[in-house]
Amino acid sequence: MAMSLADRALGAIIGSAVADAAAQPLHWVYDLDKLDGFLNEAPTPEFRPKSANPFYHRDTGNQSCYGDQAFVLLESLSECGGLNVNDLRKRTYNFFGPRSEYDTPVNDPYRDRSGPRPQLPIEGPWRHGSIKSFMKNMDAGKEETGCETDFQPDGIAKLAPIVALYAGKPDMLEKVEEAVRVTQNNDACVAETLAAARILEHFILNGPDEKVLDSVLDQLTDPNRKQPQDLDKAVVGHIYQVRENLSKAHQDLIPSVFPQQLWFAWFVPSGAAWGSDG
């Protein structure tokens, strides 16, 4: 039975949440030998019963810090009937801020980092760099609340709800950029997230399509494209590089082709090392 556009939009939101929960117990495992050992323990690592995360432990089924951002965005969109940046700021601050589950000494955005390093892994969720910066900007009453230095794929990870709502609408990319800059006011992050939004929108509108990258590349190279970014040309180059290596297994691809991304171990799921993100 063919899926309707509404089915695909809903599937994107649910699929995003399920994927994040499925990967969360193996989140941020940067030691490839250890990761190989964990993967050898079970042929299907999804929803690993015991967390192997070296930074934080949450019960299996819970979201990572990235999935929780998607939930906050979904809630805000639902309650407001669309993107309301002020509401999204307030909800994000409340969800991750003081007296929340994320509010622990290790996660304190104002923690003295010259002191002793904390004992890892911590029990409970991890408040990562862009959210800490966002909180500081909110506390300071800044108009621009997004972190300017963080370029992790938070925007991509929390993308599904807003693309699902605005797919096919002329302001979809504009809304995505506004939502991303709430916590990440970084041009590289925005350019990459907008490319991912184009990919997801294509699937929501059209269903499965092996030519999706061709379509997105056509959009990104169109001089009259919507929501153009200065870094679009670089993103195009990255997409071409990915397309050329689609036949390679993930375990072979990252060390040989994208070694600079070892710390980035993303797409199930995202992350950054303690030194850059703690």
pLDDT for 274:
35
pLDDT at residue 94 greater than cutoff 50:
yes
pLDDT for 43:
77
Distance, CA of 109 to CA of 3 (rounded, Å): 44
Distance, CA of 215 to CA of 146 (rounded, Å): 30
Q: Which residues pair with 147 in a beta bridge?
A: 184
- The answer to whether 241 touches 234, Cβ cutoff 8 Å, is no
Distance, CA of 142 to CA of 208 (rounded, Å): 42
Q: What is the pLDDT of residues 167-184, one digit of tens each?
A: 999 999 999 999 999 999
Higher pLDDT, 250 or 154: 154
Query: 226 Cβ partners below 8 Å, 6+ apart?
Result: 170, 173, 174
- The answer to whether 267 touches 159, Cβ cutoff 8 Å, is no
Domain ranges of the chain: 5-277
Q: Which residues pair with 52 in a beta bridge?
A: none
H or E segment and range at residue 122 = strand 122-123
Q: What is the CATH number of domain 5-277?
A: 1.10.4080.10
Query: pTM for the whole thing?
Result: 0.91
Q: Taking all residues of the chain, what is their mean pLDDT, rounded to a whole number?
A: 90
Distance, CA of 121 to CA of 6 (rounded, Å): 40
Q: What is the pLDDT of residues 14-62, one digit of tens each?
A: 999 999 999 999 999 988 889 889 989 887 899 999 999 999 999 999 9
Average pLDDT over residues 143-152: 94
Which two tokens mark 123? 């029990």
